Amino acid sequence: MNYLSRTFGKIILIGEHSVVYGKPAIAIPFDDTHLDVYIEKSDKNCISCKYFEGELDYSNDEILGINKLVDVFLEQYNISEKIKIKIDSNIPHERGMGSSAAAAVGVTKALYNYFDIDYNIEEIFSFANISEKIVHGNPSGIDVNVVANNKSLYYIKNKAFENFPIDTDAYIIIADSGKKGATKEAVSDVKKLVNTDKKYMQYIEKLGELTDMAKTNIENNNIFKLGEIFNSAQDYLRKLTVSDNLLEELIEIAIKNNALGAKLTGGGRGGCMIALSDSLENAQKIKLALDSKAKETWMTKLKIK
């Protein structure tokens, strides 16, 4: 059986959390990880994925978002045919790598393809956001935008996205701490902090400025400066209480092994970190060092369409 859609994971280079407050963020698609969706005729609406196997009506919390998306889609297009949806994914779940966005976008595209209905990107966003709102609460939309467009983006919430092709000499190493991230909770805790003390809003402002500095330094291939910017961003993310011990340990390992900079990526409090390296040789060393502690690691050149 052929898949009806394939979507990829994503990595936020910089700007997580501050993007929720209208500051810019830079994110890239990550095609070392992907999610495939298959659909076939069935006698009941069913789903088969890592977290649930069975009738959609009896599904668990893990796939509540997808369940709702499918319901709304079938209702909107007056579809009575029953289907079985199968999701096959190697994007780590709840690690800040965009697995929920990839599932939401992937299932929407697969439904359109299976029922042979024409669609545009706005329709993909609108269905995918049904699921993302359930999973994330108040998503900035960056995940769905990167995944649906499969392009690296300079992104500001509620503005037309800007494709931001990246062509640097750097490598990034991504390490999964092995602990589930807690994006929804972290976003809501940051909001509470921002509402209690104005210094937290200053940290958000700083993260926004750092993102713009990162953009300029990526454009100029100034990867050493970019490394420093990653470290500064991590300082502010730490102050916003979204880092944790496991991420800090991985960051320390990367820096000790000559990373130019390192920071968490995504919602934090678990999930993944990224490290920047100036050469393939150093990147391999950093990856090897991280392998001793991380659940999984990846490496890619920082050169993306």
Quote the CA–CA distance of 285 and 283 in Å, as a whole number: 5
DSSP 21: G
Number of helices (H) and strands (E) in the chain: give both, helices first.
9, 11
Task: Compare residues 140 and 257 and give the one whose CB is closer to ligand PMV.
Answer: 140
Contacts (CB under 6 A) with ligand PMV, residues 181-220: 181, 183, 187
Quote the CA–CA distance of 287 and 271 in Å, as a whole number: 17
Q: Tell me how far, at minimum, the Cβ of 220 lies from ligand PMV, in Å.
A: 26
Q: Which residues are catalytic?
A: 143
Task: Compare residues 59 and 265 and give the one whose CB is closer to ligand PMV.
Answer: 265
Task: Compare residues 106 and 139 and give the one whose CB is closer to ligand PMV.
Answer: 139
Out of 4, 13, 20, 237, name the contact with ligand PMV by CB under 6 A: 20
Quote the CA–CA distance of 259 and 223 in Å, as a whole number: 11
Alpha helix (H) ranges present in the chain?
64-76, 99-114, 121-136, 142-149, 183-196, 198-219, 223-239, 245-256, 280-291
Site string for ligand PMV, 116-145 (x = CB under 6 A): --------------------x--xx-xx--
Residue 28 pairs in a beta bridge with 11
Site string for ligand PMV, 147-186 (x = CB under 6 A): ----------------------------------x-x---
| Strands, sheet with 296-304, edge to edge from the N-terminal-most edge strand | 261-265, 272-277, 166-176, 296-304
In the complex, which residues of this chain contact ligand PMV (CB under 6 A)? 12, 16-17, 19-20, 96, 98, 136, 139-140, 142-143, 181, 183, 187, 266-267
